[in-house]
Amino acid sequence: MEMNENPKDQFVISQENWSLHRKGHQDQKRHMDKVKDAIRNNLPDLVSEENIVMSNGREVIKIPIRSLDEYKIRYNYDKSKHVGQGDGDSEVGDVVARDGSQGKNAAGQGKKAGDQPGQDFYEAEVSMAEIEEALFKELELPNLAQKEQAEITTDKIEFNDVRKKGLIGNIDKKRTILTAIRRNAMKGKAEIAPFHNDDLRFKTWNDVTKPESKAVVLAMMDTSASMGTFEKYIARSFFFWMTKFLRSKYGSVDIEFIGHHTEAKVLTEEDFFSKGESGGTICSSAYLKALELIKQKYSPTRYNIYPFHFSDGENMSSDNPKCIQLVNELMAVSNMFGYGEVNAYSRYSTLMSTYKKIDHPKFRHYILKENRDVYFALKSFFKNEVEQL
Amino acid sequence: MPEMQKLHRAIDEITEIASGFGLDFYPMRYEICPADIIYTFGAYGMPTRFSHWSFGKQFHKMKLQYDLGLSQIYELVINSNPCYAFLLDTNSLIQNKLIIAHVLAHCDFFKNNVRFSNTRRDMVESMTATAERITKYELIHGKEEVEKFLDAVLAIQEHIDPSIIRPRLNENDVEDDEEEVFSSRKSPYDDLWGLDEQENNAQVPHQKRKKIPPSPEKDLLLFILENSRELEEWQRDILTMIREEMLYFWPQLETKIMNEGWASYWHQRIIREMDLTTDETIEFATLNAGVVQPSKTSINPYYLGLKIFEDIEKRYNDPTEEMIRFGAEPNRGREKMFEVREVESDISFIRNYLTKDLVQREDLYLFEKKGSNYTITTKEYETVRDQLVSMRVNGGFPYIVVENGDYLRNGELFLVHKYEETELDLHYLEHVLPYIYQLWGRIVHLQTYSDKKEVVFSYDGKKVYRRFV
């Protein structure tokens, strides 16, 4: 056999140019596309994901994205017996790993990672940016709002020009030196000195008129006892994403929290979402407060105003006519008015039955029954209804 | 190119030492390539394999580990003739020496172990052809459509029958069988067709339908291929090709511990014969320690395989009186090792050569989840050994058979998990059933055990049902 042959004939070494071999990268991209699809398909769940909302949008979140698993018929890792190896002094009863640490152990071992079915658990790391990208692709500022946005302008000065004459305090050192070097170089020596008056360059400004893009969210919520943890969480998720979305559209977005029961006050974010107060509910109090804030701080000529009200719909019936009147007043100065009702069991709601009658392009409402509805509410509030206008 | 010359000289030397030791390998083709490429091949299992996102995911994972410096050394060798081995272009000379010695032993194993005797040595070309055909189908039927089908096939690709000698009924046999039943013709071979069935036939001779399959069928892929009414020609073609590829990979699954142990044993022996500089000696020791490092929560096949082979060598060099009574002769350790590498697979390797002494010396134990901790439950020799064996049964995959391809006389597919104390991942199972349904086209059932109770999972195209029997 080959035993007799000279071993030198038994092998070939080659080094080729592999730069066109892109298969791994192409399939990796396909996988990434599937991750993106999965994010899009899971948006209703992701948007109300507690990890994200409560951590205030930390950069990367681990989310199990099921559709990316490669499903096999396999054993249940946690119900199987496994073989391991000690240092020589292991004893029955010793703990070799704890829940959750399994994956970490494996990753450190390089070669063996993934040998065991239990460790193949796949969690996609999704960055906030990816979720935002996917979500905001589906949201649009209502058409009305965009028009108004263009009308708000400010006059500013911008240093965006360079001239030969100017105030000595505004001298552009870099450009001055460059000019001097260039001129000296033409005479044979590329040096800074000497300076001529002609070398001096000054930064100078122009007046510019820019569309000002500022928005304010007036977050109103019923903080009466009837709003429980679930209702508040829904509202919180909604305001979280809404503010983020508006920030992607406007230069700056403020948010004011107005809590109300029978009377309304401006609250801190923490108080707004955590404190509950007893008593009845008079929604008009919040609307009055909102109008007051607009008058004091958020002039409609400078701000795009987004009053949004979350409630469980239980309002004192006698207050409803007043609500309608105030909502109309608010709409006159706002880009839109949103009413979200958290109503998991489809109770009869006095407020909603009143608001259903409002037919105004700036008025939008949505009933949220479960976590996933935060996403659908966002989509319903932030869509362009140009065809209906 | 002095680097290239050094490598060439090293390979010369290693090849000569390996041949001197009696290793018997195919002609070698060493390809030097960048990390991207080597991890691509690693992820796909073969440079020329077809495209699928799951390989891309695997590639990404491996590449990430490489970038993080978690797995700097990587050996990749293809069971083919000539045998391809891939070397990372950033490897140091000593890393290459280790890898070359290691892959030569792998190649010897591919060439000589009986499990590999039926594998196609032209698989590189065959997989190229497969990839081309799948690309062609993508052009005709659309990428999405082909991917959807591949997703389904890959989910069950391990469920084949890899027996070396396969007593299969081919289609002619089945027809003969059918004729037999209906005409009740007596022949000298009747008793081969199952006596129970014969009795039943006698009672209700004409109502009895032909049983499909005649006896439980392990090869789910083949069964679907031959009996599904759902598949189009191109789909059958893909199914056939993926089954071929799985058959090719299967011996590697069944000999993981042996094969890595064998290669690790030999890279150590071969390097020992070489003149290394002090720096190289230190680097080799570090690399080697990394490769054959035991783990608390799993079995490192490199390490366990190496220890068993070393133990075989020692015991057969210096046999006990009992062994001598059974015919062992002193100083036949090497010879015995070569015999073992030829005839065993992981299961018999562990059963025959993992001794009580070795289990204790290596401090092997069983652990399982108790509450939120993974706790050592026993160190008893036989229990540990038997668990290791059972983990290697069927390449480590649950054993599934087709019990009935015409269940309820409605063309439904009834599968049975041959349960042996280890339960399935039911969450995963519920996701695999729709894939099987996609391939079979009718209701699919799978019988297994959950919490020690018999349970049947069914998928009807809309929803998974579970029913305790």
Q: How far is B331 from chain A (nearest CA, A)?
A: 24
Residue A125 pairs in a beta bridge with A62
Bridge pairing between strands B453-459 and A202-211 = unpaired
Tell me which chain A residue has its CA closest to the CA of residue B29. A12
Confidence of residue B194 (pLDDT cuts 50, 70, 90): low
- Which of A14, A74, A114 comes nearest B31 by C-beta? A14
DSSP class of B468: E
- Record: contact B298-A2, CB cut-off 8 A: no
- Record: contact A16-B31, CB cut-off 8 A: yes
| Among the listed residues B244, B210, B212, the one whose alpha carbon sits nearest the alpha carbon of residue B226 | B212
Looking at the complex, does the CB of residue A81 fall below 8 Å from at least one CB of chain B? Answer: yes
b/e map B319-339, b = 16+ CB within 10 Å: beeeeeeeebeeeebeebbbe
Q: What percent of chain B has pLDDT over 70?
A: 89
Tell me which chain B residue has its CA closest to the CA of residue A87. B363
For the stretch A254-265, pLDDT in tens is 889 998 888 888
Mean pLDDT of chain B, nearest integer? 88
Confidence of residue A228 (pLDDT cuts 50, 70, 90): confident
- Chain B hits for A18, CB-CB cut-off 8 Å, are 33-34, 36-37
Mean per-residue pLDDT, A228-249: 84
CA–CA dist B292, B289 (Å, integer): 5
DSSP class of A345: T
- Which of A11, A27, A84 comes nearest B295 by C-beta? A84
Out of A353-367, B102-116, B308-322, least confident range: A353-367
- Per-residue pLDDT, B202: 46
- Per-residue pLDDT, B100: 96
In the predicted structure, residue B338 carries a pLDDT above the cut 80: yes
- Chain B hits for A113, CB-CB cut-off 8 Å, are 65
For the stretch B43-68, pLDDT in tens is 898 888 999 998 988 888 787 777 76
Looking at the complex, does the CB of residue A187 fall below 8 Å from at least one CB of chain B? Answer: no
Confidence of residue A106 (pLDDT cuts 50, 70, 90): very low
- pTM of the entire predicted model: 0.69
Contacts of B5 (CB under 8 A, 6+ apart): none
CA–CA dist A88, A90 (Å, integer): 6
- Which of A13, A84, A109 comes nearest B367 by C-beta? A84
Cα distance from N-terminal residue to C-terminal residue, chain A = 88
- Per-residue pLDDT, A246: 83
Looking at the complex, does the CB of residue A173 fall below 8 Å from at least one CB of chain B? Answer: no
- Which of B12, B32, B60 comes nearest A28 by C-beta? B60
Q: What is the DSSP string of A56-110?
A: TS-SEEEE--GGGS-----B-GGGS-EEEE-SS---TT-EEEETTHHHHHHHHTG
Out of A46-60, B34-48, B68-82, least confident range: A46-60
Tell me which chain B residue has its CA closest to the CA of residue A122. B57
CA–CA dist B262, B25 (Å, integer): 13
CA–CA dist B465, B462 (Å, integer): 10
This complex has an ipTM of 0.85
- Record: contact B379-A92, CB cut-off 8 A: yes
Mean pLDDT of chain A, nearest integer? 78
Please report the number of interchain residue pairs, chain A to chain B, with beta-carbon separation below 8 angstroms. Answer: 264
- Per-residue pLDDT, B135: 94
- Chain B hits for A87, CB-CB cut-off 8 Å, are 363
Confidence of residue A68 (pLDDT cuts 50, 70, 90): low
In the predicted structure, residue A352 carries a pLDDT above the cut 80: yes
Q: Does B138 or A275 have the greater pLDDT score?
A: B138
- Record: contact B56-A30, CB cut-off 8 A: yes
In the predicted structure, residue B352 carries a pLDDT above the cut 70: yes
SS (H, E, C) A219-260: EEEECECCCCHHHHHHHHHHHHHHHHHHHHHCCEEEEEEEEE
Out of A175-184, B151-160, B246-255, least confident range: A175-184
- Chain A hits for B387, CB-CB cut-off 8 Å, are 81-83
Q: What percent of chain A has pLDDT over 70?
A: 80
In the predicted structure, residue A116 carries a pLDDT above the cut 80: no
- Chain B hits for A116, CB-CB cut-off 8 Å, are 298
Mean per-residue pLDDT, B196-205: 48
- Per-residue pLDDT, B113: 97
Tell me which chain B residue has its CA closest to the CA of residue A99. B372
- Which of A27, A66, A94 comes nearest B53 by C-beta? A27
- Per-residue pLDDT, B182: 41
For the stretch A162-205, pLDDT in tens is 888 888 888 898 999 999 999 988 888 888 888 888 888 998 88
Looking at the complex, does the CB of residue A6 fall below 8 Å from at least one CB of chain B? Answer: no
CA distance readout (Å), A59 to A31, A125, B366: 22, 10, 40
Q: How far is A10 from chain B (nearest CA, A)?
A: 5
Q: Are B211 and B125 in contact (CB under 8 A)?
A: no
- Record: contact A27-B37, CB cut-off 8 A: no
- Chain A hits for B303, CB-CB cut-off 8 Å, are 85
Helices B346-353 and B381-392: angle between axes, nearest 10 degrees:
170
- Per-residue pLDDT, A101: 42
Confidence of residue A109 (pLDDT cuts 50, 70, 90): very low
- Record: contact B384-A31, CB cut-off 8 A: no
In the predicted structure, residue B75 carries a pLDDT above the cut 70: yes
- Per-residue pLDDT, B68: 67
A interface mutation test: which of B17, B44, B296, B459 has the most A CBs within 10 A? B296
Confidence of residue A387 (pLDDT cuts 50, 70, 90): very low
- Chain B hits for A29, CB-CB cut-off 8 Å, are 56
In the predicted structure, residue B31 carries a pLDDT above the cut 90: yes
B interface mutation test: which of A2, A8, A23, A109 has the most B CBs within 10 A? A23
- Chain A hits for B428, CB-CB cut-off 8 Å, are 69, 71-74
- Chain B hits for A71, CB-CB cut-off 8 Å, are 155, 428, 431-432, 435
In the predicted structure, residue B24 carries a pLDDT above the cut 70: yes
- Chain B hits for A96, CB-CB cut-off 8 Å, are 296-297, 367, 374-376
| Among the listed residues A70, A119, A114, A34, the one whose alpha carbon sits nearest the alpha carbon of residue B153 | A70
Cα distance from N-terminal residue to C-terminal residue, chain B = 71
